[in-house]
Amino acid sequence: MADRNFQKKKRNDVKRKRKPVMIFTGEGKNKTEKQYFLSFQEQHGKYSIQFVNTGFDTDPAGILRPRLQEADKNVKKLMAHYASIGVKWGEVDCNPMTDVTEILKELDVI
């Protein structure tokens, strides 16, 4: 048989384009915010949006705590990296007439 040179697949290559991760949090049990963010997926189709119900947390730490607990180690490392370089946080108005691109431009995402 001929000698073959097998190359191991390169995973987690630094040159690989990674999908951006954005975390949206909402306080309380509010269907309006959920419908607002689901409309992004319907309009553009390139967003994968998932919701996790945590109860009626209203303080910022209480809202974010369950999301961090559910995140796997890679996402936690990524979030720590973004926090170290200064993540821009912004408050989004849940008005269905607001264009998504305007909001993202304000946050310097695009």
CA dihedral 56, 74, 37, 90 (to 10 degrees): 80
Task: Tell me the residue range of the domain where 63 lies.
Answer: 31-106
Indicate the number of domains in the chain: 1
pLDDT tens profile 34-48: 788 778 777 776 767
Kindly state whether residue 96 falls inside one of the protein's structural domains.
yes
Number of C-alpha atoms within 13 angstroms, CB side, residue 70? 11
In a domain, 5, yes or no: no
In a domain, 26, yes or no: no
pLDDT of residue 85: 65
Residue 64 burial (10 A CB sphere; 0-12, 13-18, 19+): middle
| pLDDT given at position 58 | 66
Q: In 10 A of CB 63, how many CB atoms?
A: 16
Q: Per-residue pLDDT tens for 91-105?
A: 555 565 566 666 667
